[in-house]
Structures are given as C-alpha cells and as structure tokens.
Structure 1
C-alpha cells in the first residue's frame, strides 16, 4: 500500500471516529483541516454557493480567508467546463483569468474538488506554495477523500436540519399551557415540556427516563382525592381496544388543590411506540 492510499484510509478512519464521538457542528471544519494536514497543503477551505450572487469562504485554514465573498457565476462556468470533476492545476499562474484568482494568487498549485450537496453546492479548495506533481496515486487519494467529504457534508446538513426541527418543536411544546408527557415503551426514553416538569416537580423539561416519569406521575396520582376512580379508570384504559382516554379527572388535594382533565393517547410509528399524556387544568 503506497503512502497516498494510507492517507486516504487515515482520512476515512479519523472522520469516522469524529462522526461517532464529537459534535456534528464541528465535523466539517475538522475534516477540512485534516485534509490540509494529510496532503501537506498550505491552504484548505470550503467555498459554498449561498445563492445566485454569493459564494463565501468557510472553514478556511488559515482563518483569515474566512468570509471572503466572490462571484459564483464564473466559478460555476469553470465547473461546467470540467464536467464537475476534480480540477488539478499544477501551475496556477499559467491559467489566465481563472475565477479563483483572489484565493489562489499566492499559490503555485491547486486542486478544486466539487462536492454536490443540497441545499447548497460546495467546493473544497487545496493550495500549495510550491509546485506539485499530481500523480495517479495522488488523484486516487483525492477521489476517495472527495466521496467521503460528500458523505460528511450530506450528513452534517441532515443532522443540522433535524436538530433545527427538534428545537422548533420543543420550543412550541414548552410554550403550551398544557402539561405534555411522552413515555416510550422502550424503557429508555421519555420527554416532558416545561408545564409537565412543573406539575411533576422535576428538575427541568426535556429528556427524562421513563422510570423517573412513571414515579413522578405515581406521586402526583397519590395526591388525588379520587385515587380509586383514577385506578379503576386506568384498568379500563389499558384493557380497552382503543387504548386511549380523554376527559379523565384527577382531583388533587393539598396546599394547592387543582383538578386536571387528563388525556392518554397511544403514539405508534415505525420507530416509536409509547404513550402521550396531556394534563389540562
């Protein structure tokens, strides 16, 4: 195995470990820095096409290149001329009027790697101040890295997208005037909004173990003056074919007596099987 094959495998191994052990938000920056070090480049950066009029430098090493903005149209034409394949420039100065002059003017050799991802396309640009010879083994190494980088970009964008959705829905559920409790049947996952955390006297909203939620709900039920009615209704609930109930009254006593109208609904999907509890005053 030659040194370029070793570098490609090194890149795959290190990015795989990072994918499992580190936070996704820093995944891409780490990967680009790793490419730079493995290939002994003097610069490495991501050029992202943000819209029709803007292409911006991100995750650059050295950092002072970050946030440079260039016109994307000439770069797109360059990519079209090369059929969106990796471009190898052994002598940057010998290429007249290339659209990446602002980024590469102090370099002798460069590699431009298109990485097509949604919603925005990106390029990885590597540059060297000394002239390079891009032999076949080197190009094979670049192609392996390109495929892995495409996976990283796609994975990063998907993770950030779903994280954004989760944050939005959590914010909405925390603002509801009703207490919302979800207990999964897997025995490991549960969730409460802020109102439910207050009612169940938990340390805070968010993820909670089902055992903790079940114990807190038992304590809440034990404060009720109609405990027998709640117990008998619970037996009917779990025996019913619908496996659901609404307008179930829990009448609490104590220093702050309240009556809650309780609903319990089954939640079933391909990956989720549990119960949603809703407490309305």
Structure 2
C-alpha cells in the first residue's frame, strides 16, 4: 500500500469513527483539521457560498483568515470552467485567478468543490513548497472528496427528515384528540400529548407497542361498557375493513368522561399499523 493510499484509508477510518460519536455540525471542522495533518499543508480552509454576493472563509488554518469575505462570482466561474472537478495547481498562476488574495504566498494548491445543496463549499489546501500531484496523490484526494460528499449528503438528508419529523410531531401534539399509533412491526409506537395524559404515560413521543397495549388495556378496564368494547374489538380485528368509527368508551369517572373512538389502518410502503383516535364526547 502506497503512502497516499494509506492516507485515504486513514481519512475514511477516522471519519467513520467520528460519524458514530459526534454531531454533523462539527464534521467539516474535524475533516479540515484532519486534512491539514494528513497532507502537511501550510494553508487549509473552507470557503462557503452564503449567497449570491458573499463567500466566507471558515475553519481556516491559519486562523486569522477565518471570516474573510470573498467575491463568490470569480470563484464560481473558476469551478464552472473546470467542470466542478478538483483543481490541481502544481504551480499557482501568478495573476488573474479567483483566489490570488489567499494564495499569493504559496507555491502549490488544490481546490476541492463540495457541491452539496443547499450549502455549496470548496476546500482549499496550499503548500509553501512546490508539490507534485501524481496519480496516487490525485486518487487519494478523489477518494477523500467522495467520502466528504457522502457524509455531507447523508447529514443533509438526516437534517431534512428531522425537520419533517419535528414539524409532524408539533402538529400532532396540538391536535386536541388523543392519537395513538401502534406499528405492526412490534417494536415502535407513538402517542401525542393528549394520548400520553389519557394513558398515564411519562410523556408523548415514541413508545413500545407492549407499553401502549398494556396502557390501553388498563384504560379499557376502567370503562363501564368493557364487555361491549371487547366484543367490538373482536369484530374489528376480524373484519376485512379493519376499521371502526363512532365507537363509544364510557367512563363512570367524571374526570375521564366518555370518548368516541376511531381505529383506522395505516398502510404505506414504509409504515403498517393502526391509528387510534380518542375524541372526548360532548355532553
């Protein structure tokens, strides 16, 4: 194994350990420090395109370059002219290039585009002494670039799903009816705030189906029409429609009132289960 192959493998291994233990927000900071150590650079930094008129230096070494503001347009033109591929400057152009203010004291540099929407960035590495970018070196850099894009893309997907889940949970928690979802996988379930209160659970959110089933059994035992509910449940679980509406659960206790209960199947490519809706009966 060549020296450059071992460096690529080291980057993959170290980012894999980081990926399991730390938050995505610190990934580029960690990766840029790792690149500096692996490639023994004299300058290493990220340039992030914040908007149409601002590109900002981040995670810089040397640190005095942090927050330096650049014009993004000539940098974009440079990237477009190179097809958004990694740019290898064994000898840095003496004038007329987009990064002359950053690289005027250096001999060699590489520019790694990270085109990961919605945040587009490049990583810049430079050396004071001339460097030779042979095939092994370039294969190492491209392996690292793919690894960076892989983790950043994955993290953006995770952040998107977390936002969707948070929005969904916020909506579900504000609905006044008690909502209980029990997945058919036997491992996952979910309740909103009114359902957590109705079933006397510690709080809303994810719950094991076994806990939900037990809590619903305890709730049913407090009803004054438990036998009727049991018979309806048998019909529900054996019917082809697999659903029921306007199902009354009666309670003697005025605090618990009575509820109109609906049970509906939830079927999709990702989810299969039952949704229970407990709506307080008026009057």
TM-score by length of 2: 0.89
Residues 28 and 152, structure 1, Cα contact 8 Å, conserved in 2: no
| Mean Cα deviation higher: 152-161 or 116-125 | 116-125
Distance 1:258 1:106, change over 3 A: farther
Change (3 A) 1:41 1:252: farther
Match of 2:146 in 1: 147
CA contact (8 A) 1:190 1:207 kept: yes
Between 170-179 and 21-30, report the one with greater CA deviation. 21-30
Structure 1 regions of 5+ residues with no counterpart? none
Cα gap change, 1:191/1:24 in structure 2, threshold over 3 Å: closer, same or farther? Answer: farther
**Which moved further from structure 2: 176-185 or 122-131?**
122-131
Shift of 1:61: 4.7
- Equivalences for 1:96-111 in 2 at 5 Å? 96-111=95-110
1:209 Cα deviation from its structure 2 partner: 0.9
Distance 1:159 1:57, change over 3 A: farther
CA distance in 2, matches of 1:207, 1:181: 10
After TM superposition, give the deviation of residue 26 of structure 1 in Å.
3.3
Q: Equivalent residue for 1:166? A: 165
SS of residue in 2 equivalent to 1:35: helix
**2:258 counterpart SS class:** strand
Residue in structure 2 matched with residue 2 of structure 1 by the alignment: 2
Question: Residue 100 and residue 273 in structure 1: after superposition, are their counterparts in 2 closer, same or farther (change >3 A)?
Answer: same
Secondary structure of 1:216 counterpart: helix
Matching residue of 1:192? 191
- Partner of 1:275 in structure 2? 274
Partner-residue secondary structure (3-state), 2:260: strand
C-alpha separation in 2, matches of 1:237 and 1:63: 66
Report deviation, 1:80.
2.3
Shift of 1:27: 3.5
Q: Aligned residue for 1:229?
A: 228
Output the CA distance in 2 between the equivalents of 1:18 and 1:223: 51
C-alpha deviation, 1:255, in angstroms: 5.9
Normalising by structure 1, report the TM-score. 0.90
Change (3 A) 1:102 1:220: farther
SS of residue matched to 1:228? helix
Structure 2 Cα separation of the partners of residues 146 and 196 of structure 1: 47
Q: In the aligned structure 1, how far is the partner of 2:208 from the partner of 2:62?
A: 45
What is the total number of aligned residue pairs between the two structures? 280
Q: Secondary structure at the match of 1:12?
A: helix
Q: How does 1:1-281 map to 2 (within 5 A)?
A: 1-61=1-61, 65-92=65-92, 94-254=93-253, 256-281=255-280
Deviation per CA, 1:43-70, whole angstroms, max 9, x where unpaired?
A: 4333232332232334445555444332
Instruction: Report the secondary structure of 1:258's partner residue.
Output: coil
TM superposition shift of 1:39: 1.7
SS of 2:224 mapped into structure 1: coil
Contact 1:248 1:261 in 2 (8 A): yes
Q: Which runs of 5+ in 2 are unaligned?
A: none
What CA distance in whole angstroms lies between the structure 2 residues aligned with 1:38 and 1:240?
Answer: 65
Cα distance in 1, alignment partners of residues 56 and 260 from structure 2: 54
Alpha carbons 1:27, 1:156 under 8 Å: kept: no
Q: Alpha carbon RMSD of aligned pairs, Å?
A: 2.2
Secondary structure of the equivalent of 1:203? coil
- Using the TM superposition, give the Cα deviation of residue 72 of structure 1 relative to its aligned residue in structure 2, in angstroms: 1.3
Classify 1:139/1:164 alpha carbon distance in 2 versus 1 (closer, same or farther; 3 Å).
Answer: same
